[in-house]
Structure 1
Amino acid sequence: MVSDVRPLVGSKAMTVDTSPGTEDDQDPAVAAVPVSGTQVVDAAVQAAETVLTRRFGSAIGLVEPEALPGSGPATVVRARIAASPFGLPRTLVIKHYPDAPPRGVADPFAQEAVSYQLFTALPAEDRMCPELLAHDGPLRVIVVDDLGRAPTLWDKLRGQDARLAERALLSWARSLGRLHATTAGREADFEALLRRLGGFVPDEDTTPAVACARLPTLLAEAVGVTTPDNVRTYAENVCEASASSPYRAFSPVDLSPDNNLVTSGGVHFLDFERGVVRNALVDAAHLRVPFATCEDARALPSGMSEAMIAAWKAEVSGVWPALDDNEVLSAHLLDHQMLLVWVTTWADLGGAAAEVRPNRVAALVSWWKDLGTYAERGGRQEVAAHAREVAKALDARFGPGLELPLYPAFR
């Protein structure tokens, strides 16, 4: 996705503090996968015991480990503390990255550890994630507070209650805005922590530039749509401006709904393996193109995106006053909505159009139609016309009659 400082208005001083904290347990929603003494789990537990003992100066034993599901490179384990004099939470979560990446390649362990350091340095009310309890570079282990068996945002979206799903989405948008507001202007802090841990500071993502350069040819070959020169120029200008945007803040990058826990204190982000500082408007574009990078993306009911944008705006307008102007914000959102749709279409169709699943093409059709609607409202008639042509051609090529279903909670 697009990577892209202004001082944080009214910010509080940051001091790195890894003192323990607790969260209320939540009602069970998704059962963890119980395990016995497998080697990977044992290695994670042993690494966690070692780093906790070093951190607190006394032996801390962990019992009853259970592996938690995940698709990343880390072994993720929940474990209970056998006994501790330090007031640590009853249970904690371990993320162990046994394999280091090749030199010069971004390290998911370093990015996650530094992300947690960045947030643990904030006051508890501004922390949109579990608290970091301990970490160790050589052992490649992170130990964080356990938020309990709370439901994820994905659980709410596939549930039966539309009202609960709406509240969860608005809470997610507010949490995303608060995450951006509290980390605006912290790029130097993030990169300094990353270097200290031996991490590789990634360059700006070139995927948007590649997509803007190559999507017109792909659209012509795959669905027979010609991209007008003025639309191509607009996309290239947006791509260039996005990379140098002043609206930079921390981003988890992976905004999948299953990476967010819905707790009594709001939505908390969990997965920072790709965490970076980038243009916050790239994340905000997902409020118009919801969960675009998820394979099973669905539609939201009418008006939901606008409500989510309002919730996000309420959190960031104090840091970036220009975005309090609806016209300014709408123009920025249109730019990044278009960029996200272009990048996603390039990623989905790129060279293997015949193999794209129908439900994924239905999502592309929906997003191009929405882009046409917003572009017309924003006075970008040439973008609107092109977007509608692409949507119609995609439907004719892979349909016809493709429709993106709503998330189950809204059916």
Structure 2
Amino acid sequence: MSVDTFGEAPDAPAGRSGGSGRSVDAAVAAGEAVLAHRFGSTITLAEPEVLTGSGPATVVRARIASSPFGLPRTLVIKHYPAARPGLPDPFAQEAVSYQLFTALSAEDRMCPELLAHHGPERVLVIEDLGRAPTLEDKLRGSDARVAERSLLSWARSLGRMHATTAGREADFDALLRRLGGPVKQKKQTTAAPRELPDLLAELGVAMPAEVREFADHAWEQAPAGTYRAFSPVDLSPDNNLVTDSGVRFLDFERGQVRDALIDAAHLRVPFGSGADPQALPAGMCEAMIAVWRAEVSAIWPALADTDTLSVLLLDHQFALVCLRTWDCLAAGCEMVAALVTWWRDLAADATRAGEHRLAGYADDVAAALDSRFGPGLALPLYPAFR
């Protein structure tokens, strides 16, 4: 099982995007150079505004001060530092991801358009989607209906992303090869499958042989699934803009082609990769899955069958919850309320799928976690739903 299968970032690049005066000037200069190369004429940028983020790039919004072309009024520049030897290159991942989508029609492009890029300068110039709110903003707002519509739009955009990129792994690999990136990244394995049963046994919950077999199958299925499509990997709500045309994804620094059901499992464990996940109201997760399935079932007809999809999602959901639990218990994190909630949800989903031994085990784990670290632990709802 690879650490990054479910969105973890082993050896994540140091630092955060932002910018000193020098780095902003360098980003603007690189942006002007790549635009001049792309369009064959001088394009002057002005009024740079630093946009913060979690990646290594300096990200700047700039106004086009002068240009002989009909370019948009503003654009966004992402300027990357040198790659770190032996690690995946976030510039290559993001550049290739945007290239993959730029070849699609505007209707099928679930992200900003790539306007220009240059490998040696390690710079991207992309469409500016403006000051639209993020999905995080909607979830932490005060309007439940707006938050619900935004979540369904997010699930729809995720499904459209999967449907339009299914079968394009060879294209992604070819583009990555042109930028000099490794087509098949070396995966860093995790000790979670080996260590988690012992960590839970210390809480008084032994994993039955039947559940261990289910777990082994889930760990094997997660990275090797057949429903392969592009994934942004980082599914945090602050990486999605809620626009008039629907939710649009940002930040593809870890973009890759993988089993789309890994992303779909995050619809049952909403924003489980984030630093501060909270809960959604009853029925919301299944509503998002239904919207996602409506987008992908034409490409993958087998997923139109409710029972088939339920079985596949349960595998990935179980592996995801196990990985998050191992992360937390091994590192001593403070997300135990999230773990309790996710194990309870897993128990309910396993019961609906007829996996009663797994459901019983999940209930026992939730109770043991609550007894050790609680009592009364549960994720609060996002503010919009309180």
Checking the alignment, whether the CA contact within 8 Å between 1:194 and 1:200 is kept in structure 2 is yes
Q: Please list every run of 5 or more consecutive structure 2 residues that lacks an aligned counterpart in the other structure.
A: 7-16
Query: What does 1:20-39 correspond to in 2, within 5 Å?
Result: 38-39=21-22
Query: Which residue of structure 2 lines up, in the alignment, with residue 46 of structure 1?
Result: 29
Query: What does 1:299-338 correspond to in 2, within 5 Å?
Result: 299-338=279-318
Q: For 1:168-195, what per-residue CA distance to the aligned partner results, in whole angstroms no more than 9, with x for missing partners? A: 0000000000000000011111011011
Taking a change above 3 Å as real, the CA distance of residues 116 and 34 of structure 1, as seen in their structure-2 partners, is: closer
Query: Which residue of structure 2 lines up, in the alignment, with residue 184 of structure 1?
Result: 166
Correspondence 1:373 to 2:355 = no
Query: Which residue of structure 2 lines up, in the alignment, with residue 132 of structure 1?
Result: 114
Q: For 1:109-131, what per-residue CA distance to the aligned partner results, in whole angstroms no more than 9, with x for missing partners? A: 00000000000000110000000
Checking the alignment, whether the CA contact within 8 Å between 2:35 and 2:43 is kept in structure 1 is yes
Checking the alignment, whether the CA contact within 8 Å between 2:350 and 2:359 is kept in structure 1 is yes
Query: Which residue of structure 1 lines up, in the alignment, with residue 206 of structure 2?
Result: 226
The structural deviation recorded for 1:320 is 0.2
Query: What does 1:5-404 correspond to in 2, within 5 Å?
Result: 38-102=21-85, 104-203=86-185, 205=187, 207=189, 210-221=191-202, 223-350=203-330, 352-353=331-332, 356-357=333-334, 360-404=335-379
Q: For 1:129-177, what per-residue CA distance to the aligned partner results, in whole angstroms no more than 9, with x for missing partners? A: 0000000111000000000000000000000100000000000000000
Query: Which residue of structure 2 lines up, in the alignment, with residue 24 of structure 1?
Result: none
- Structure 1, 233-242 or 183-192: larger mean CA deviation: 233-242
Q: For 1:260-290, what per-residue CA distance to the aligned partner results, in whole angstroms no more than 9, with x for missing partners? A: 0000000000010000000000000011000
Secondary structure in 2 aligned to 1:81?
strand
Q: For 1:217-243, what per-residue CA distance to the aligned partner results, in whole angstroms no more than 9, with x for missing partners? A: 12123x232111221111111221232
RMSD of aligned alpha carbons: 1.6
The structural deviation recorded for 1:200 is 2.2
TM-score by length of 2: 0.94
Secondary structure in 2 aligned to 1:268?
strand
The structural deviation recorded for 1:298 is 0.3
The structural deviation recorded for 1:99 is 2.2
The structural deviation recorded for 1:379 is 1.2
Amino acid at match of 1:281: L
Percentage identity across paired residues of the two chains: 68
Q: How far, CA to CA, are the matches of 2:351 and 2:49 in structure 1?
A: 52
How many residue pairs get aligned? The number is 374
Amino acid at match of 1:181: A
Q: For 1:353-404, what per-residue CA distance to the aligned partner results, in whole angstroms no more than 9, with x for missing partners? A: 3xx22xx110100000010111111111111111011100111111111121
The structural deviation recorded for 1:216 is 0.5
Checking the alignment, whether the CA contact within 8 Å between 2:98 and 2:114 is kept in structure 1 is yes
Q: How far, CA to CA, are the matches of 2:70 and 2:194 in structure 1?
A: 55
Q: How far, CA to CA, are the matches of 1:157 and 1:91 in structure 2?
A: 28
Amino acid at match of 1:170: L
Higher relative contact order (CA 8 A, sep 6+): 1
Checking the alignment, whether the CA contact within 8 Å between 1:152 and 1:257 is kept in structure 2 is yes
Structure 1 runs (4+) greater than 3 angstroms displaced: 1-4, 202-207
Q: Please list every run of 5 or more consecutive structure 1 residues that lacks an aligned counterpart in the other structure.
A: 5-32
Q: How far, CA to CA, are the matches of 1:2 and 1:136 in structure 2?
A: 27
Q: For 1:324-364, what per-residue CA distance to the aligned partner results, in whole angstroms no more than 9, with x for missing partners? A: 001101111111111110111111111x33xx22xx11010
TM-score by length of 1: 0.88
Taking a change above 3 Å as real, the CA distance of residues 391 and 90 of structure 1, as seen in their structure-2 partners, is: same
Query: Which residue of structure 1 lines up, in the alignment, with residue 11 of structure 2?
Result: none
Q: How far, CA to CA, are the matches of 2:254 and 2:292 in structure 1?
A: 22
Q: For 1:58-96, what per-residue CA distance to the aligned partner results, in whole angstroms no more than 9, with x for missing partners? A: 000100001001111010000000111211100000111
Checking the alignment, whether the CA contact within 8 Å between 1:231 and 1:382 is kept in structure 2 is yes
The structural deviation recorded for 1:204 is 6.9
The structural deviation recorded for 1:201 is 2.7
Q: How far, CA to CA, are the matches of 2:266 and 2:297 in structure 1?
A: 18
Checking the alignment, whether the CA contact within 8 Å between 1:2 and 1:242 is kept in structure 2 is no
Secondary structure in 2 aligned to 1:133?
strand
The structural deviation recorded for 1:257 is 0.1
Q: For 1:280-317, what per-residue CA distance to the aligned partner results, in whole angstroms no more than 9, with x for missing partners? A: 00000011000001111000001101110010000000
Taking a change above 3 Å as real, the CA distance of residues 391 and 205 of structure 1, as seen in their structure-2 partners, is: farther
The structural deviation recorded for 1:2 is 6.2
Q: How far, CA to CA, are the matches of 1:281 and 1:34 in structure 2?
A: 33
Q: How far, CA to CA, are the matches of 1:160 and 1:98 in structure 2?
A: 39
Checking the alignment, whether the CA contact within 8 Å between 1:251 and 1:275 is kept in structure 2 is yes
